[in-house]
Structure 1
Amino acid sequence: MSANLSANTLFSVNGVVAVITGGGSGIGLMMTKALAANGARRIYIVGRREDVLGSAAESIDPGIVIPLPGDVTCRESLLGIAKQVEAETGYINLLICNAGIMGPKPLKAAPGASPPSLSDYRAHALATSVEDFTYTYAVNTTGVYYTTLAFLALLDAGNAKSNMGADVGSQVITTSSIGGFSRLPGASFAYNSSKAAVTHMTKMLATSFVPYGIRCNVLAPGLFPSELAMGIIGALDPGKTGEMDRNIVPAGRAGTEEDVAGAVLWMASRAGSYLNGSVVVVDGGRLGMLASTY
């Protein structure tokens, strides 16, 4: 059998240099662990909470995982981080735009109760300031755009380095959500619509960057243990048994770090190098149980 068809070759991320925003917790931390466990040369994790980033780096390998405090809603912060990475490595192969927030939540009825009155629903929604609503977009959508722009030169340098092989090339992976396809209010109007926006924007970036040889793809997770999703998971699994109603999640459980690892190793390696402008849904089948537009 050809060595090119072995899993060790196809799914190798050995030597990859990556930047992961929101890489110190939740799904971002799962991605960081996956790349570090499989031979990454350097992983820069970006976030606002320096203590969280530091703990993540220490728990994995501080020689590989480098914390870089920063704010994805601040262009100057992003450009400063890119300069730090450029000074250390001179290039990156992979940018994962993973930072995200939930945003203001709509008023919901308790399970089995009648919906709130229209006046209560309206009053609750209007109590949210325009600034709070649009800040969700600043992080989840606009932040992805400016993060990508900040690291374009380093991604281009990664292509010139060609350390991952000519067939792989540099790539941007955006963490979106199945919420971006759901027609239900779900987490929040701001969150779901911002994820719909960033999914489409990433497809646009994929087309725009074709002349430069930089690929862009979307990972759309379902329910995974994270700060954002714990309230939802807790409601679906109040007994903390690890099991969920298969009418809600056909897999019968929330996602695990192995599920994230499998997806990101595929997308980041030779195995996924033919992906460009693609959306990878990893949700245990949940989206198929929702009114959705996917």
Structure 2
Amino acid sequence: MRDRVTAVTGAAGGIGAATVAALVSAGRPVAALDIDQDGLRALCGDLQERRPNEAHTVQAHTVDIRDRAAVEAALDKVEAGLGPVTGLVNVAGVLRPSPVVSTTDDDWAATFAVNTTGVFVACRAAARRMAERGQGAIVTVGSNAGGVPRTGMAAYAASKAAAAHFTRCLGLELAPHGVRCNIVSPGSTDTPMLRALGAGDVVEGDLASFRTGIPLGRVADPRDVAEAVLFLLSEKARHITMHELYVDGGAALRA
């Protein structure tokens, strides 16, 4: 995986930051993209402290993934500074929990703008470059909520389902160009988003909200998700595309 440049959106925290750290550990140059400038500084500072010999392979770019021009400009800078982008990981996401009848137009639009349109914007920019070169891998971080109904999360679940199916369609189009597209769908993961949600005991589940527990008996660590992402980016997964890998401890009870 060395010398293969990967762009990661939503890189400043949670699963995004864990993915950046895992890529750096694998010796892969990384472009860390996020709207949170302070979070990017903290990420780079932490990497510099823990991996001083490898942190120079990380470029931080403050960018709003909803902004097509900003994303294109960021990838141009990445390729000028680090080299051709051969990997993209879509992690950026927002969650505004609410029952459907209480969901505002702004909640719905904002959720789709980041979770779905942002994936489209980033993928389109990266896919053009990868297809021209005949190689690359894209991984979209979805959610098991995209395949299992959740109360109070309709906008989030629908946006993640849309992003996942978009990624499969993109994978079909890019397969002749040697570019693979896959989805990693986590369940409850120990991130600021989950803590802010205050979801109760997700391990045991909640009958009142029709939510099963987690058969493996623990909430995921962001590194669990990051390792799945790395696998799908790597040559070990060279014959896998348009696949959705659930990393949720069995919570979705998928066959």
Q: Which category of TM-score, normalised to the shorter sequence, fits these structures? A: 0.7 to 0.9
**Partner residue, 1:245:** 204
State which of 216, 224, 229 in structure 1 corresponds to 2:181: 216
State which of 245, 250, 255 in structure 1 corresponds to 2:220: 255
Unaligned runs of 5+ in 2: 49-54, 206-211
Confirm or deny that 1:28 pairs with 2:8. no
Question: Runs of at least 4 residues of structure 1 off by over 2 A?
Answer: 13-16, 152-159, 231-234, 244-247
Aligned equivalents of 2:186 and 2:4: distance in 1? 23
Identity of aligned residues (%): 28
Q: Deviations over 1:98-152 (max 9, x none)?
A: 100002422xxxxxxxxxxxxxx84xx1xx4313311111110111111111122
Aligned equivalents of 2:71 and 2:34: distance in 1? 11
Unaligned runs of 5+ in 1: 1-12, 107-120, 160-168, 238-243
Confirm or deny that 1:134 pairs with 2:93. no
The 8 Å contact of residues 92 and 157 in structure 1, kept in 2 or not, is answered as no
The 8 Å contact of residues 90 and 154 in structure 1, kept in 2 or not, is answered as no
**Partner residue, 1:48:** 35
Q: Deviations over 1:227-264 (max 9, x none)?
A: 22124566217xxxxxx338611111111144123312
Q: After superposition, where does 1:36-75 map in structure 2 within 5 Å? A: 36-40=24-28, 42-61=29-48, 62-75=55-68
The 8 Å contact of residues 33 and 61 in structure 2, kept in 1 or not, is answered as yes
104 and 54 in structure 1: CA distance in 2 versus 1, 3 angstrom threshold: same
Aligned equivalents of 1:263 and 1:92: distance in 2? 20
**Partner residue, 2:150:** 184
Confirm or deny that 1:155 pairs with 2:135. no
State which of 86, 89, 92 in structure 2 corresponds to 1:99: 92
The 8 Å contact of residues 219 and 282 in structure 1, kept in 2 or not, is answered as yes
Aligned equivalents of 2:201 and 2:3: distance in 1? 40
Aligned equivalents of 2:7 and 2:165: distance in 1? 22
Aligned equivalents of 1:132 and 1:222: distance in 2? 22
Matched residue SS, 2:139: strand
After superposition, the CA RMSD in angstroms is: 2.1
Please tell me the residue identity of whatever aligns with 1:176: G
Tell which structure's C-alpha radius of gyration is larger: 1
**Partner residue, 1:4:** none
